[in-house]
Amino acid sequence: MKTLLQGNYAVAEAVRLSRVQFVAAYPITPQTPIYERLSDYELEGKLKGVMMRTESEHSAMAACISAALTGVRTFTATASQGIALMHEMLHFASGNRVPVVMCNVNRVVAIPWAFGSDQSDSLSQRDTGWMQFYCEDAQEAVDTVIQAYKIAEQVFFPVMVCIDGFFTSHFLEPIDIPEQEMVDRFLPPPDIPNRFDIKNPAYVGNVVSPEQYMVFRQKSFEDMEKARGVIKRVDDEYREIFGRGYGYLEAVDTEGADVVLATSGAMTSTARVAVQSLKDKGYDVGLLKLRTFRPFPTKEIQEALKGVKKLAVLDRNISIGKEGIWCQELKAALYPLKERPTITNYIAGICGADVSPEMIEEMVINTLKREDAPELPVWVRRDQ
Amino acid sequence: MMLKEELEREYMRSGHMGCPGCGVATTLRLVLKVLGERTIVVIIPGCHAVISANYPNSVLKVPCFHSAFEIAAPTAAGISNALKIRGEEGINVLAVAGDGGTFDIGLQSLSGAADRNEDFIYLCLDNEAYMNTGIQSSSSTPEKVWTMTTPGGRKGRKKNLMQIIAGHRMPYAATVTMGKPLDLMEKIEKAKNIRGTKFIHALVPCPTGWRMAENLSAKSAMLAVESKLFPLYELIDGINFRITHEPQGIPVKEYIKIQGRYRHFTDSDVEALQKQVDEEWERLVEKAKSCI
Amino acid sequence: MDYIKITIEDIKPMSPFSQGSTEIFLTGQWSSRKPLYVEKTSPCRVGCPVGNDISRAFYLASKGDLDGALKVFREENPLPGVCGRVCYHPCESLCNRKEFDSSINIRGFERFLADNGRMNIAEEMAKTRKKERVAIVGSGPAGLSAAYHLVRLGFPVTVFEAMAEPGGMLMYGIPAYRLPRDVLKREIDYIKALGVEIKTNTRIGKDIDLASLKREYQALFISVGAHKAQGIGVEGEDLSGVMDGIGFLRDVHLGKRIRLNRRVIVVGGGNTAIDCARVARRKGAKEVTIIYRRSMTEMPALKEDIEWAQREGVKIMVLTAPKRIVGTENKVSSIECIRMELGEPDGTGRPRPIPISGSEFVLPADVVISAVGQSPDLGFLDDSGISITKRGVIETSFVTGTNVDGIFAGGDSSGNKAYVADAIASGKMGAFAIKCYLEGEDVQKEVEKYRIMDGSSISFGHILSPETHKADLRSTVPYEKLNTLCFQREKREDNPEILKPYRAVRGFGETVGSLNREGMDREIKRCFKCGTCTQCDLCFLLCPDISIVKNEDGYGTKKDYCKGCSICATSCPRNVIEIGGTI
C-alpha cells in the first residue's frame, strides 16, 4: 500500500526502518524536515537510540564518525552550506572507514544566497572518499537509504544518498514504505565492530609515515573497487525482496541510439516524459539515468553507450572553469572507447530553475542537428 | 584520598616523543591513573598527539582516537552515546584538547556538547599557546607574552575560559595542574563519578614554549598556583565556586622570572600583572564566599 | 546472499589501528643525566647535640609508626622523656621550617613519643655480648648515655653512683615541675633492663678507688658532673641565709625542711638561677628577684623558662651585679648591687659586663642564692695522673679520651656545655671511643665515618643498623634547596600549659603538658622532613616519561627512558634527589 509522503519524511521512514541507533543533525533547508521527523520518532519511541542535536553539521558528522567507530549504526542529513562545513569531516569519515549514511538534500551553495536544487554541493565532495548515490524520486531515496546501510556495513565506506532539494524533498509522492519485518529480513541488525574495545585497546587514527599513508590510500582505493560487486549484489537482493532495484545506472533504449540523453536525480523524471515524446515523434533516442557517482560505473556506461553517436548530458551543477560535472565524468569514462559519441553538455535547472519537457526535447534535437559538439557547455534557462 | 592502586597504576608508556620535562605527558598520565583501564581517550592535534605516538604504536594502554582539531567534544559525545546504545556501562570517555583546541577552534563544539550535557570529561591541556606547531599565540596566551606570532607581546588578556564554562552550568568543572598532583587526581576522581559534561582546565607547563629550563616544569606549575596566578578551584553546576588550595601568595614575579616568554617584562609590567592577579583572586574569593 | 561480515581484523588494514608499544623507543639515550636518591642529614639533626635523626622520626610518625619514631630517637638517646622536657632544643633554632612559618615543636615531639610510644627492649638488646668490661663513674646524663650505648654495642657495663639514686643532676638538680621523677626513673629502668648495672651509694674516692676500677675494668668513663657550687666572690657570702643554688635544689629534692623568708635574691642567669627562683617561689618566698649582670639577650637560661619564672612572679633585674652581701647579726639583710653596662665581647663571645661606677644600690634580702656556676669535684683523681685543665675540669680530646690510656671522660666533669643534651652527646662519643679503644680501631678515623656534619655527635643508627640508615651524614639541606611550594603555612602547635602560674607555684606539678594527638599530628604533618625520602610519590607522579619506579624502600629510575629532565630533583620537597651524569 502506498503512502502519500514528502521525500524528506520518506527518508526519515527509511532511517527508522533501518533501525538506526544514532542520529546527529543540525537544521538546514531543505533537509530540516528529516531532522524534525526523526525527532518525532524519537519522542514516539519509534527511533530507539540517541538523537544528538549538535551545534553544527561539522559536529554532527564528527559525532556520527566516533559513534560509528564505537560500533553503532548512524545517520545524519544535511545540505548546501552544511555539507560544505562538513567537508573536513567527510574526508575524516572515509579515512576512518566508517559506515555512516548521510542524506544530502541538494541545494545551491552561497553566494548568491538561494535555496533551490543544485548538485554542486555534493558533487564537489567527489574526492572525499564517500560513496554517492543520486536518486530520481522519494521512492528511490527510501530504497537507497535502506540499501546504503547494507552496502556501507560490508565495505566500510560512508554512503551519501542525494535527493534534489524541494523537488524530491518536499513534493508529495505516493510511496511504498516497506514493512519493518521485510526490512529486517534484508538488513541485519547492527553488528559493527567497536574499535574502542577496552579489552583490546588500540590507538585509532594516528599519524603515519608517507609510505604508510600511501598504503592506506591504496587499500581504500582497492576496497572501493571491490565495493562495486557489493552494490550490485545488494541491489539485486533488494529487487528480489521488494520488487524494486536501480542498478548503477538505468539505460533505456540506449544501445545504438542516434542520440542518448544522460541525466541524474529528479530531472530524470522530466527527461522520461521528453524522451517518450521524442520517440513518439520518431526520434531514435535513448535515456541514461546515472545513479552511482562514486564508485563511478565506467564499465556499465561504456556498455550502455555502445554504438551511440551522440550524447546529450544534462547537468544540474557546474564546475566553473570546466563544465558540468557528470559530463566531465562521462567524457572520461568514454575516452577509452575507440568509437565514442560526440558529447554536448547542457547546464539547466540550477537552483531549481524550471526545466520543462519541451526544453529537454529541444536539447536533444539540437544535439542531433549538430555536426560537432560545442567546446563549452550550453546554458539553458528561461528568461528572468 | 587517592587509593594506593590508583597512584601506582599506569596507562601511559615510556618511550614517547614528548620534550624533556613535558607537562602534557605528566598531566595526561595523572588523569589516566585515576580513570583507569575502563577509559576511552579522544585526542586532537596538539602536543599530546605527538606524544601519543605514530602508527603502529601507542603510548596509551587504553583505547584512543585521534580526532580532528575542533571536535574533541562532539567526538567524545559520539563515543559516550554509542557506549550507552551498546549497553556498555562504566566506561569513562576523556576528551583531551590543548588551549588552541579549546579556547579557540574547538570552543563552539565544546559549547554544544556542554549544552547538551553529554557524558564525558573534557581535559583542556592549557600550555598557553599553539606549542605543537611551534609556539604561536592563542586566546589563552597571557597578555604581553612573547610567542612566535606575537614577537612584540600579545595584545589582550588571556581569555577567561572558566567564566565561559560557568555559563554552561556543567555539573562539574575544575582547575588543576600537575604541580599539585593529588589535587588534580582527586578532582578527576570526582569528575569520574559525575554524569554529564565535566570540564577540567589544566595549566600545563611547557619548557619549550615558555622558554624555561626543563627541570622547572613542575615547579613553574606550583609557582603559578602559589602566586595565585592560577588558583585551584572547583565550579559546581556553573555557580558554586570552591577553592581547593589556599595559595601561599608568593609574588607573581617568582613565577614569571623563570620563563623566557616574560623576559621583556618591565617592573611596571610585573606590577600590573601582580595587580591583575590579586584582583582576580579577590574576585574568586568573593565568589567562593557566597557559595555553599 | 553472502553477507560480508566485517571484523576488527578486517578493519586493521583499513585505517591506522595501533597496538604496538612506544617502549621500543629508548628515550633514555637522549641524555646521560639521571636522578640519584641521596638522603641527607636534616639541619635539626645537625643542630641536635645528641644527633637525633629527627626528620626520620617525623617521617615514621607521619606513617603512623610512633613506636618506630621513638626507636629512632632511642637509637641516639636513652633519655627522650628527659630531653623532650628539658632540652634547650637547638634543633628548633636550625629548623628549616623557621624560614617558612615557624620552627617545628621538636622537643614536644620527642616528649610525646617518650610518653606515648612503646619501647621494645628485646629489639634494642645487643645481639652479641663482648667480654671487655667497662666502668662508668657517675650516673648523670653523660654516664647513662655512655652506659646505654656501650651496652647496646655489647659491652658489659657497671655504673658507680655516689648518691642513693641514679640520674645525677637530672635527679638532684632539675626541679620536678620541669622533669617529673617518674619519667626519669622510667628511662633509667629501661637502661637497666638492657643490662646496665648501676651501683648506687658508691662514691669514688671513698667507697671505691680509681686504681681498683682500672684493674677490674678494661675501660673507664668518668662523668661525675659538676656538683660543687662556685661562690659569687663577694663579701658576706658566709652569712647565714646565703646558699648555693645547686645545694638548694638538691636539698629540696631530698625533702629537707627549708624555710624561706620573705625576700629571696638569686644571683645568676643560667637554668640553675631560674630553677632556684621558681623553686623559691614554691617554697614560700613572697618576693624573688634574679639579678643578672648582662642583658636579657645574653641570659643562658631557656627563654620559655625565663617567661615562666616571670609569670610565677619572679622579678628579673638585668645589668645588675652583686657587690656585697650585707648582714645583721650574721644574717643576710640586704645585698648591695651595682649597675652594669655591656662592653666589647669577651672570650665567650658575649659582651663583657662593665660596672658603672657610682651606680651602687641596695636591695633588701632575707636569702641570697648563688647560682653563678658549678665545677666538678675531682679530688679522687689526685694520684691518677689524669690531666686537669686550668678551669678545673678533666682534659679530654674531641673524642673524650684523657691523657691516660683506657680512661675517658665526659659531661660536666670534662667541661662540657652543661646542658643535658651535651652531656648525653659526650656519653655517646665516649661509648664509641671506648668501643674503638677496646677493639683496637683508630677512633679518629671511625668517628669521621659516623660524624654528623662537622658537629660533635655521631650517628649510632648508622653504626648499629647500617641497613636502614643510608642518609649522607656529611651533607645537609639548606632551606633554599627545599621545594617549599609543596607546603602550606600552618600554625605551630606548642605544648599546652596545664597549670596556671598562680597554681603552679603551689607545688611541683608539671606546668607544661604533652601535646595531644591532634596537635602532635599537625606538627608531624608540618615537619618538612628535610633530606628524608618520605615516599611522597611526587617524583614518581611528576615524571613525564614514566621513568621512576616504586620499590619497596623507595624509588628507582628506568634509565632506558629517563630523558634527564630533572623535574624530580627540582620538585623534590625535601632535597633527596640529585642529578648524576654529565650534561
Q: What is the CATH number of the domain that holds B195?
A: 3.40.50.970
* Chain A residues with CB-CB distance to C5 below 8 A: 191
* Chain B residues with CB-CB distance to C546 below 8 A: 10, 12-14, 29
Beta carbons within 8 Å of C144's beta carbon, 6+ residues apart: C78, C79, C159, C166, C167, C168, C188, C191, C424, C427
The answer to whether the Cα torsion of C318, C321, C326, C331 is positive or negative is: positive
Bridge partners of C363? Answer: C335
Whether the pLDDT of residue C416 is over 80: the answer is no
B217 has a chain C CB within 8 A of its CB: yes
**Omega before A111 cis (within 30°)?**
yes
Percent of residues, chain C, with pLDDT higher than 70: 99
The answer to whether the Cα torsion of C447, C451, C455, C460 is positive or negative is: negative
Percent of residues, chain A, with pLDDT higher than 70: 100
Distance of CA C375 to the CA centre of its chain: 22
pLDDT of C537 = 94
pLDDT of A329 = 98
pLDDT of A371 = 87
Q: Where do you find CATH 3.40.50.920 in chain A?
A: 249-379
What parts of chain B have a pLDDT lower than 70?
A: 1-2, 292
pLDDT of C583 = 41
B86 has a chain A CB within 8 A of its CB: yes
* Chain C residues with CB-CB distance to A70 below 8 A: none
Provide the domain count of chain B: 1
pLDDT tens across C215-266, in order?
A: 999 999 999 999 888 888 899 999 999 999 999 999 999 988 887 878 999 9
CB contact under 8 A, A52 and B71: no
CA distance B57 to C20: 4
Confidence of residue C212 (pLDDT cuts 50, 70, 90): very high
Written as nine digits, the cell of C200 is 648506687
Q: What is the mean pLDDT of chain C?
A: 94
Second CATH level (architecture) for the domain A2-242: 3-Layer(aba) Sandwich (3.40)
pLDDT of C415 = 83
CB contact under 8 A, C486 and B222: yes
Interface test with C, best of A233, A236, A238, A240 (most C CBs within 10 A): A233
Strand order across the beta sheet in which C157-160 lies: C197-199, C157-160, C134-137, C219-222, C407-409
pLDDT (tens place) for every residue of chain A, 384 residues total: 799 999 999 999 999 999 999 999 999 999 999 999 999 999 999 999 999 999 999 999 999 999 999 999 999 999 999 999 999 999 999 999 999 999 999 999 999 999 999 999 999 999 999 999 999 999 999 999 999 999 999 999 999 999 999 999 999 999 999 999 999 999 999 999 999 999 999 999 999 999 999 999 999 999 999 999 999 999 999 999 999 999 999 999 999 999 999 999 999 999 999 999 999 999 999 999 999 999 999 999 999 999 999 999 999 999 999 999 999 999 999 999 999 999 999 999 999 999 999 999 999 999 999 888 899 999 999 987
Confidence of residue C349 (pLDDT cuts 50, 70, 90): confident
* Residue C23, CA distances (Å) to B53, C20, C111, C533 in order: 10, 9, 52, 29
Domain residue limits at B234:
3-290
Whether the pLDDT of residue C582 is over 60: the answer is no
Query: Which runs of consecutive H residues, i.e. helices, occur in chain A?
Result: 7-17, 32-44, 57-69, 80-95, 120-123, 138-155, 167-170, 180-186, 210-242, 267-280, 298-304, 325-334, 357-369
CB contact under 8 A, C27 and B15: yes
Pick the CATH number of A249-379 from 3.40.50.720, 3.40.50.2300, 3.40.50.920, 3.30.70.580: 3.40.50.920
CB contact under 8 A, A71 and B82: yes
B vs C: CB pairs below 8 A: 120
Interface test with B, best of C101, C552, C561, C565 (most B CBs within 10 A): C565
Q: What is the CB neighbour count within 10 angstroms for residue C267?
A: 26
A vs C: CB pairs below 8 A: 60
CB contact under 8 A, B75 and A58: no
Q: Where do you find CATH 3.40.50.970 in chain A?
A: 2-242
